[in-house]
């Protein structure tokens, strides 16, 4: 059965609306967005502009914090994390493109605590695909799209910074 994917821009609009609602409950002077590299970083870049947020945002690369590092290896385009603000006492909205096992989120939280102790951490994701291995749940979600193991979502953006999603099957035994 062929999976019909929603438009990535519709998922983004849902996620953005959820983040706006979340922002309304927090002190705006204490809120910072942190994107998980790479899709989450793209989302944060656009959210900063679309939501007209004045506080600096950050980017976390979880490559060195993964508990499955021995299986997946180091990404060839690893960029360092950048958190250009004081984390202590802040409300962090962590943003990622796809929530799957929860291991990336756990790694990002571990790294974030190396920078300080935030007042709170909320998780916003574009897509929750199910398949959790850890007790991680998003506060904000653009859409829930269950996906079978061996198939992954791939987020891309065009020159106008509009998002698109595609499916990619893993090559088993290749």
79 or 91, which is more confident?
91
pLDDT digits (tens, 9 = 90+) for 108-123: 999 999 999 999 999 9
What is the Cα–Cα distance from 13 to 151, expressed in whole angstroms? Answer: 24
161 — alpha (psi -120 to 50), left (phi > 0) or beta? left
pLDDT of residue 77: 56
CB of 137 closer than 8 Å to CB of 100: no
Helix %, strand %, coil % of the chain (to 5): 30, 25, 45
pLDDT digits (tens, 9 = 90+) for 30-89: 999 999 998 999 999 999 999 999 999 999 998 866 555 555 555 555 678 999 999 999
Using alpha carbons, select from 135, 132, 162, 151 the residue that is nearest to residue 13.
162
Asked if omega into 38 is within 30° of 0 (cis), the reply is yes
What is the Cα–Cα distance from 70 to 47, expressed in whole angstroms? Answer: 33
């Amino acid at each position: 059965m062929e999976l019909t994917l929603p438009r990535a821009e519709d998922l983004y609009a849902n996620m953005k609306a959820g983040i706006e609602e979340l922002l309304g409950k927090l002190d705006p002077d204490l809120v910072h967005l942190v994107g998980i590299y790479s899709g989450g970083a793209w989302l944060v870049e656009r959210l900063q502009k679309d939501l007209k947020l004045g506080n600096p945002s950050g980017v976390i690369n979880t490559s060195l914090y993964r508990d499955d590092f021995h299986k997946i290896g180091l990404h060839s385009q690893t960029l360092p994390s950048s958190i250009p603000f004081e984390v202590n006492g802040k409300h962090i909205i962590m943003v990622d493109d796809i929530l799957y096992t929860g291991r990336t989120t756990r790694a990002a939280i571990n790294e974030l605590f190396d920078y300080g102790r935030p007042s709170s951490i909320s998780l916003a994701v574009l897509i929750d695909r199910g398949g959790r291995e850890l007790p991680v749940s998003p506060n904000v979600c653009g859409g829930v799209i269950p996906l079978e193991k061996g198939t992954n979502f791939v987020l891309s953006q065009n020159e106008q910074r509009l998002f698109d999603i595609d499916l990619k099957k893993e090559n088993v035994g290749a």
